[in-house]
Amino acid sequence: MSNDTISNKEKYDLEERTAKFGENIVFFCRELLKDEITRPIINQLIKCGTSVGANYCEADDAESKKDFKHKIGICKKESREVKHFLRMVGAALPEKKEKARKLWVEAKELNLIFNSIYNKVS
């Protein structure tokens, strides 16, 4: 995982925050043992972990409120999916459970943020 910490300014810049989150997922996955059990988990984790930021960028450039809400909904789903696959990493590789837990906390915070945004858009 990157040693970079998120500054207060970056914490409220969702584009930067979700990009850093995706990067940290990539760095974490590079550390993981790859075998027949972990490969599918890692692939799914990379897909959903990097998708959060990509979908947020799409939401930021949405063409309508409906489009924005849809894209934020995808961010919400993907961040929740990350939590699931991080839990699976912890089950498959108990020695990585603590690092997975730190990423899980960030995924949960992002999910709560996207839930809040989603619920405020009419």
pLDDT digit string, tens, across residues 15-66:
999 999 999 999 999 999 999 999 999 999 999 999 999 999 999 999 999 9
In a domain, 113, yes or no: yes
At residue 122, the pLDDT reads 79
In a domain, 85, yes or no: yes
pLDDT band at 112 (very low <50, low <70, confident <90, very high): very high
Q: Distance between CA 4 and CA 24 in Å, rounded?
A: 10
Check residue 13 and report its DSSP letter: -
Confidence check: pLDDT of 6 > 90: no
In a domain, 1, yes or no: no
Confidence check: pLDDT of 11 > 70: no
Domain that holds residue 53: 9-120
Q: Distance between CA 21 and CA 77 in Å, rounded?
A: 15
In a domain, 99, yes or no: yes
Confidence check: pLDDT of 10 > 80: no
In a domain, 102, yes or no: yes
CATH (domain of 18):
1.20.1440.60
Summarize pLDDT for 91-105 with one digit per residue, the tens.
999 999 999 999 999
pLDDT band at 5 (very low <50, low <70, confident <90, very high): low
The answer to which of 5-9, 104-108, 109-113 has the lowest mean pLDDT is 5-9
Q: Distance between CA 93 and CA 29 in Å, rounded?
A: 12
In a domain, 74, yes or no: yes
Count of domains in the chain? 1
